[in-house]
Amino acid sequence: MPAPAPLLAVDAPSLLYRAFFALPSSIRGTDDRPVNALLGCANLVLQAVERFAPRAVVLCFGAEAARYRTAAWPAYHGDRPEMPEELVPQWADAPAFFGAFGWRSEHAGDLEADDLLGTLARLESAAGGHAVLFTGDRDMFQCASAQVTVLYPGAKDGPTAMGPDEVRAKYGVDPEQVPDFIALRGDPSDGLPGAKGIGEKGAAEMLRAHGSLEALLALAQDGVAARAAGLKPRAIGALVDQADELRAFKDIATLRDVAVQRPVDAPSDWAAASTAAAERGMGRLADRLAALSG
C-alpha cells in the first residue's frame, strides 16, 4: 500500500528572501516592478511539489521576532536589516499569488513562521501523516523524525532531505537536542552568542555524553564531578556563569505551538496558477504551469 501523500509546509519568509537575493531585480513584471522573489520562490516550491506530490501546500508566515523572544534576549534578531524596498510589494502579493496555485497561506500571529511549521508538523504526525518542512532555517532540524522531513535548500542538485540520521551526521546530536545545541553553540543569524569557549564541536560532544543542557548545568555546579566527567575548566565556567542566559537561549530556540487546524487536502490548481503568473509577467513560468494543467 503506498504511503499517504505528505503535507508540504513552506517557510515563506526564508524562501522569499533566498529567492530575492539569488535572482536579479531586473526580472520584472507587467507593471515594471521586480518579481524575482515571487518567481524564485514559486520555482523552489514547484521543485518540492514535483518531488513529494503533497496532499496540500501551506505557506507559513509570522512575526519577524516573537515578543517573548526579544524580551528574553533583546539582541535576538537585532542585527537583521529592514526588508529591502523591492521585496515589500512582492511580500504583500505572495498570499494572493500563491493562493491562485491552490496553496494556502497561514500566519503565526505574534509567533514566528518557524513555530507555525513546527505546529503543522506536530499536527500531521499526530494524525498519522507525514510532513515535509521546506525551510532554510537549520533550527527546524529539531522537528526531524520518522514522520517529519526537513527540506533544506542550497545544494546544487536540489534541496537536501534531512531526517534524524542526517541531523545526527551534520551536528552529532539527536533532533530533540537541537535547542540545547543552539543554546550552547550559539546562532549568529539570530543574535544568540552561545556559551563562551564551547563552540559547535564541544557542544555536540557534551550533549552526546550528558544528554541535555539542564544536565550539564547541574553537573557544572559540582566542579570536582564536572572535571571527573571530562568537562574542561573553561566549559565549566561558562555553564556556571551563563546558566540563566543559556536557559534563555534554549527557550528561544524551542518552538511554540500556534493555534491552527490541520490543513485539509487541497490539490494544486495549475491552470489558475498559470493565469496568475502570466498576469505578473512571468511568461516562462506561466507556460510551465499551463503544461502541468495539461
**Which stretch of 2-6, 53-57, 237-241, 283-287 has the lowest confidence by average pLDDT?**
2-6
Write the pLDDT tens digit of every residue in 188-209: 989 999 999 999 999 999 999 9
Beta bridge partners, 148, equal: 131, 145
Q: In sequence order, which ranges of the chain are alpha helices (DSSP H)?
A: 12-22, 36-52, 67-72, 88-99, 113-126, 164-171, 178-185, 199-210, 213-220, 223-228, 233-241, 243-253, 270-279, 283-293
Residues of the chain above pLDDT 90, percent: 94
Closest listed residue to residue 47, CA positions, set 4, 90, 8: 8
Domains of the chain: 7-171+256-293 (3.40.50.1010), 175-253 (1.10.150.20)
Average pLDDT over residues 3-26: 96
Which strand (E) or helix (H) includes residue 104? Answer: strand 104-107
Mean pLDDT of 121-141: 97
Task: Output the pLDDT for position 4.
Answer: 86
DSSP 253-283: HS------PPPPP----HHHHHHHHHHTT-H
Mean pLDDT to the nearest integer, 166-178: 97
Quick one: CA dihedral 100, 103, 104, 107, positive or negative? Answer: negative
- Residue 277: closest CA among 268, 287, 269, 267: 287
Confidence of residue 155 (pLDDT cuts 50, 70, 90): low
The whole model's pTM is what?
A: 0.95
Q: What is the pLDDT of residue 176?
A: 97
Name the average pLDDT for the chain. Answer: 95
Mean pLDDT across 114-140: 97
| Residue 156: band (very low, low, confident or very high) from pLDDT cuts 50, 70, 90 | confident
Q: Put the strands of the sheet holding 160-162 in their side by side order.
A: 104-107, 56-61, 7-11, 131-134, 148-152, 160-162
Tens-place pLDDT, residues 205-240: 999 999 999 999 999 999 899 999 999 999 999 999
Residue 162 bridge partners (DSSP): 150
CA distances to 129, 169, 202 from 249, in Å: 31, 23, 17
| Coil, helix or strand at residue 74 | coil
pLDDT value for 79: 83
Q: What is the mean pLDDT of residues 116-138?
A: 97
pLDDT recorded at residue 35 = 98
Mean pLDDT along residues 150-159: 86
DSSP 19-59: HHHHS-TT-B-TTS-B-HHHHHHHHHHHHHHHHH--SEEEE
Q: Which residue has the cell 530556540?
A: 253
Mean pLDDT of 67-83: 92
Task: Name residue, grid cell 556559551.
Answer: 195
For residue range 267-276, list pLDDT tens digits in order: 999 999 999 9
